Structure 1
Amino acid sequence: MKKNDLLNKWLWKWHVIAGLISAPFVTLLAITGFLYLLKADYETPKQKHITEVQIQGTPISFEKQLEIANKNAIKKPNAMVIPTQENQATEFVSGKFGGKKSLYINPYNATVSGEIIPATTLMFKIRKLHGELLLGTWGTKIVELIASWMVVLIISGLYVWWPSRRWSLKGFFIPRINQGKQILFRDLHVIFSFWISGLLLLTLAGGFPWTDVFGANFKWMQKVTNTGYPATWQGHHFRSNITGETLSLDTMVNKAKALQLKGKVSIELPKGPNGTYTVSNEFYSNLSAQKKIYFDQYSGTIIHQANWEDVGILMRGRMWVMAFHQGQFGAWNWWLMIFTAFALCTASISAIISYIKRKRKGSWSIPKVPKKFNIGYGIIGVIVLLAALFPLFGISLIFIFILEKFRKRKVTTN
């Protein structure tokens, strides 16, 4: 591959500038992402005294368990998770998303075994640190901006590093350990960065849907192209025909079990006399196995069944990359994300050390670009495309352009 030397220097300059600004944040994101991947390993043993119970005789009915949950929960439950083991406490869920709370009922002694509020846990705080730096909306936008520049760092880094002559297969795997610490850490940075570049782009794709600006634009695109969740998935317009008595929760559990859905199966309770029982499952190992089935709360007949195939292609793609981002496709995915987090952290720290070793005293040591270099239309097109795709990146470019103009005017004046 023959490279343009002037373009190479220009991209190197901006790679260094962007890296200096984002490297500390990238390191933090890598560390917090790694820690959050350990969520299940950390929380499962700590919550075991709540989620697991001793088997003692015959369990009481789910209907009676719901009555106990209604009396003890701060907010009445809106759903129940069907237990899959005999020693498992029954989980009754109140609220959604960040306001979710789970009350656990011991079905053998009819007592509350405990309550889990995700928003009060250490892992929730780590997730908030990872997604918004504990700074709320402003923090989310900072993370989005850094993530946008990470895409630029990956693209520019691949071009700058890619050898144009004297290829050495060893250089893709082994850092040079006998040419000084600066070269060693520089090689650690580029080797780890190269091998995770594709994984990192895929991981970033899984993080962007949570952001404010890109995420909102993506949702808008889903809406105008009708490629999100169909209206039938939410089921707001489905109604039960009021006739007789409401089916017991135990009857609905039996109906839900008969469906043989994979993964974590929940029953959403009816909201009012016209509401429906809604059975759904979470099964990230195979997203296509997820379903949502609406039952008449009186007759128990199926009003509607929504399958994963009914979901629009953009939403399906979005859910896939988000699940991949969190390592939810099984052990292979989890270990891959662990490796990505470790490699990204190593690449970021080694880049910082390499820069410090190379930096001259009294100078930022930013690579210089000859004045005769002009950006080609191809590069301008790529920049415009990235700015349109990642608006915060585009805004930051405008800000940098204005600062650069002021700097040049100041130099000219002096």
Structure 2
Amino acid sequence: MKNRKFNQWLWKWHFIAGMVSLPFILVLAVTGAIYLFKPQVEKVAIEKIQQITPVAGTKKLNYQQQWEVAQQHSLKKLNAMVLSDNDVSTEFISGRFGGKKSTYVNPYSGKISGTFQGRDTWMFSIRKLHGELLGGKIGTKIVELIASWMVVLIITGLYIWFPFTRGIKGVFTIRYKEGKRTFFRDVHAVTGFWISILLLIVLAGGFPWTDVFGGNFKWVQKVTNTGYPKTWQGRGLTSEKGVKKLTLDEMVVIAKKQELAGVITIGLPKSPKSTFSVSNKTFPLSEQKMIHFDQYSGKVMKYHNWEDVGVLMRARMWLMAFHQGQFGGWNWYLLFFTAVLLTIMSISAIFSYLFRKEKRKLGVPKVPKSFKISYGIIITIIVLGITFPLFGISVILILLTKRIKSFKKRSISL
């Protein structure tokens, strides 16, 4: 049997945290479901740019010439080229992360067929809403705080609603004949029970993008040397300067000989001493490689397999890829239905509250005055506070607020 006083205490804080977090959770769930369609939206936009009509009898420009055309039209220095087996415009890339921009060159006409940035589509607004509530750095931290409390909500919810009175059927059945309050409460509880583990995995995949937790995680990777090897991006590797550099076309031949799976990208040398790099984006992640070549001789300077990547980085990349539904159809549908069920669970919580709340009262669950917080609970809260710093700060603020209110009441009574 569960400790009923402890159960009531957890229920009180589950309720309060849920009421504060619920509007944000709904936004994250809806925008997350929509953002899963990002690859399809971007694919349509890119295909319009890349689509070309081969001109009979016209010789295609070689890759070196196409690079020169693209560089003339790019404000930033180009850093990569994407290989394609199809008869489409060639993609050259400048910038990184949010500043990444693709310039496409028609190999027949030698003209720019178009440019593309992620922010060119309406999906960019969805991303900003999902990741930072359109609030910049402050919004990012609010999302991180809500995600931290979601972990607590899931853990407390599992304990509170585990069917110790209804038996195991409580996780399979929803009572629809016992009133609206019971119906919506069961919808919330049963749905939450079945997606709880998935939600924790999805949240784990989102935390690496956060400011505080993500920054701390990167620090741990650095200290424990469990991130990418220093040479993964070519740092510390130096080409032996020769008389003549390899042309981009010669590098393409070398890259194709590697027979890598997925989308192959050739990283261009940043200076006369740096290297060419050949990498591939594919799933499973274990098939990804990074190979560096001397830009003069073409010899292999460093060959990296996925096994060379540190364990924390591998876990991070797996979780982030899962969070975005990148492992194929099963992953995409699993995340989409999880987002839909999270929305249903959140809405049912609102109706459950409305049907149980008394008029002119907030309906916050009461806790017996005799309940004492154990050392185990305190240790658990401290561990969660250290793991999720914004959650820890919020708990401290809640405790300080309670202390101040208690002090004011004593002052008035005196």
Whether these two folds match at TM > 0.5 is yes
Give the corresponding residue for 2:352: 354
Contact 2:234 2:274 in 1 (8 A): no
Q: Distance in 1 between matches of 2:131 and 2:385?
A: 21
Partner of 1:81: 82
Could you say which residue in structure 1 is the equivalent of 2:294? 296
Instruction: Report what 2:202 is aligned to.
Output: 203
For the residues of structure 1 that align with 2:60 and 2:329, how far apart are their CA atoms? Answer: 34
Q: Percent identity?
A: 54
2:100 aligned partner: 100
Q: C-alpha offsets along residues 48-83 of structure 1, whole Å, 9 cap, x if unaligned?
A: 210222233453211111111011122231110111
Q: In the TM superposition, what is the alpha-carbon distance from 1:111 to its structure 2 partner?
A: 1.6
Q: 1:84-163 maps to which residues of 2 (within 5 A)?
A: 84-86=85-87, 88-163=88-163
- Cα distance in 2 for partners of 1:183, 1:47 equals 49
Given the superposition, is the C-alpha separation of residues 168 and 308 from structure 1 closer, same or farther in structure 2, using an over 3 Å criterion?
A: closer
TM-aligned CA distance change 1:168 to 1:226, over 3 Å: closer
Give the equivalent residue in structure 2 for 1:328: 326
Match for residue 395 of structure 1? 393
The separation in 2 between residues aligned to 1:223 and 1:384, in whole angstroms, is: 24
Deviation at 1:348, TM superposition (A): 1.0
Q: Distance in 2 between matches of 1:45 and 1:309?
A: 35
Distance in 2 (alpha carbons) for counterparts of 1:96 and 1:4? 53
Give the 3-state SS of the residue equivalent to 1:360 in structure 2.
coil
Distance 2:100 2:46 in 1: 16
Which deviates more from structure 2 when the two are superposed, residues 269-278 or residues 31-40? 269-278
Note if 1:246 corresponds to 2:210.
Answer: no
Find the counterpart in structure 2 of residue 62 from structure 1: 63
Q: 1:375 & 1:106 partners in 2: Cα distance?
A: 69
What displacement does 1:181 show? 2.0
Q: 1:129 to 1:102 in 2, by over 3 A?
A: same
Distance 1:168 1:227, change over 3 A: closer
**Pairwise CA distance, 1:200:** 0.3
> Could you tell me whether the CA contact under 8 Å between 1:32 and 1:126 is conserved in 2?
yes
| Large movers: runs of 4+ above 6 Å | none
- Counterpart amino acid of residue 399 in structure 1: L
Tell me the CA shift for residue 42 of structure 1: 2.1
The 3-state SS of whatever aligns with 2:173 is: coil
C-alpha displacement of 1:168: 4.5
Amino acid in structure 2 at the alignment position of 1:46: A
TM-score (norm 1): 0.96
Tell me whether 179-188 or 200-209 shows the greater mean CA deviation: 179-188
**Offset at residue 406 of structure 1 (A):** 2.2
Partner SS, residue 85 of structure 2? coil
* Partners of 1:112 and 1:182 in 2: CA distance: 61
Tell me how far apart the structure 2 counterparts of residues 303 and 9 of structure 1 sit (CA, whole Å). 63
Counterpart residue number, 1:27: 26
Deviations 1:12-31 (A, max 9, x none): 00000000000000000011
For structure 1, which segment, 364-373 or 236-245, has the greater mean C-alpha deviation from structure 2 after superposition? Answer: 236-245
Residue 12 of structure 1: aligned partner: 11
Equivalent residue number for residue 173 of structure 2: 174
Give the Cα–Cα distance (whole angstroms) in 1 for the partners of residues 166 and 29 of structure 2.
Answer: 33
Structure 1, unaligned stretches of length 5 or more?
A: none
Question: Any conservation in 2 of the 1:280–1:293 contact (CA below 8 Å)?
Answer: yes
Counterpart in the other structure of 1:309: 307
The gaps in structure 2 that reach 5 residues or longer are none
Secondary structure of the equivalent of 2:284? helix
- Contact 1:73–1:103 under 8 Å retained in 2: yes
